[in-house]
């Protein structure tokens, strides 16, 4: 049996591992939307899902390029075992750092008094709300 992974397996791996630290993996719909927004290449959520599970075996070149750009990997990630291995190791390092950073913050917070933990929680909620507002306002069209 070969150690080579299929396009679908590599795409599924990116979907499972490459996402912001404070959330679960992107949905197929989010990927399709993000690809269109970043690259102008349109794909349906169903098409992304079919590529990720191997139901579609021959993706278009433009879709491969757009998915690579969305996930921040070189196009060769999908075809070259050496490149895929290097990228996967880098992703593992980032995930490990991300997890250790979250664990470090949680451990530091647990050393605070209950009152101070409530204050930190309120501050985090406030920052999250500020981020959401800024994100929404940044998506609006500016008046001409």
61 is a domain residue: yes
104 is a domain residue: no
Q: What is the CATH number of the domain that holds 75?
A: 1.10.260.40
DSSP line for the chain: ---PPPHHHHHHHHHHH-S-TTS-PPPHHHHHHHHHHHHS----HHHHHHHHHTS--S--HHHHHHHHHHHT--GGGGT-HHHHHHHHHHHHHHHHHHHHHHHHHHHHHHTS-HHHHHHHHHHHHHHHHHHHHHHHHHHSPPP-
What is the per-residue pLDDT across 91-102, written as a single tens digit (0 to 9) for each? Answer: 888 887 777 777
pTM of the full structure: 0.66
50 is a domain residue: yes
Phi-psi region for residue 56, left (φ > 0), alpha (ψ -120 to 50) or beta?
beta
Residue 138 or 131, more confident: 131
103 is a domain residue: no
Structural domain containing residue 42: 7-80
How many separate domains does the chain show? 1
118 is a domain residue: no
**Confidence grade of residue 2 (pLDDT, cut at 50, 70, 90):** very low
24 is a domain residue: yes
pLDDT at residue 124, as a whole number: 81
88 is a domain residue: no
């Amino acid at each position: 049996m070969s150690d080579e992974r299929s396009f679908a397996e590599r795409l599924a791996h990116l979907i499972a591992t490459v996402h912001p630290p404070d959330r679960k993996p992107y949905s197929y719909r989010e990927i399709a939307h993000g690809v269109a927004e970043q690259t102008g290449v349109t794909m349906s959520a169903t098409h992304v899902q079919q590529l990720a599970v191997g139901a579609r075996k021959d993706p278009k070149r433009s879709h491969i390029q757009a998915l690579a750009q969305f996930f921040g990997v070189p196009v060769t990630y999908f075809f070259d075992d050496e490149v895929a291995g290097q990228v996967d190791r880098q992703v593992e390092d980032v995930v490990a750092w991300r997890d250790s950073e979250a664990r470090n913050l949680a451990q530091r917070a647990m050393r605070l008094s209950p009152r101070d933990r409530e204050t930190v929680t309120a501050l985090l909620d406030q920052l999250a709300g500020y981020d959401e507002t800024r994100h929404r306002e940044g998506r609006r069209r500016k008046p001409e």
